[in-house]
Amino acid sequence: MSDNLFICQLTDLDDPGSRGFSVDLDGTVIEGFIVLRDGEFFAYQNKCPHTGSPLDWVEHQFLDLDLAHIQCAVHDARFDIETGLCISGPCPGASLNKLNFEQRDEALYLKPTGATQSVKP
Ligand code: FES
């Protein structure tokens, strides 16, 4: 795996917290974000299933004020952190696209293929 798939260091996120990233995967730019909650990481594409818009208006801010759900800043949809499923807002039942990633050397890296997953450090 090449270094350009680096997402972030494990210490770049608070728990709970979130962080956006952009990686170049064979010439295709992948925009995504990581959420850390209770020591477990989750990765999603930064694309709301409602309109296809990015979810964040503030850099690295993908969680609601309670830090309990992923929030789309455009029309206030809320998503379950573990599953990416929309639980309220204009697109109930729709899901964020999970991204595959792995943990190596205290950092997270995007995986181009394979099953979706979460990682406990
Ligand atoms: S674009 Fe995300 S809720 Fe409408």
pLDDT tens digits for range 75-107:
999 999 999 999 999 999 999 999 999 999 999
pTM: 0.90
Find how far residue 92's CA is from the centre of its chain.
18
Q: Are 103 and 87 in contact (CB under 8 A)?
A: no
Average pLDDT score over residue span 44-71: 97
**Residue whose CA is at the smallest distance from ligand 1 atom 3:** 75
Residue 2 has pLDDT above 60, yes or no: no
Q: What is the mean pLDDT of the chain?
A: 91
How high is the pLDDT of residue 41? 97
Question: 62 CA to middle of ligand 1, Å?
Answer: 12
The domains found in the chain, sorted by start residue, are 3-108 (2.102.10.10)
Dihedral sign (CA 107, 119, 31, 87): negative
How high is the pLDDT of residue 115? 40
How high is the pLDDT of residue 26? 80
The counts of H helices and E strands in the chain are 0, 9
Residue 10 exposed, middle or buried by CB count within 10 Å (0-12, 13-18, 19+) = middle
Question: 87 CA to middle of ligand 1, Å?
Answer: 13
Choose the weakest-confidence range: 15-29, 45-59, 83-97, 100-114. 100-114
> For a pLDDT cut of 70, what percent of the chain falls above it?
89
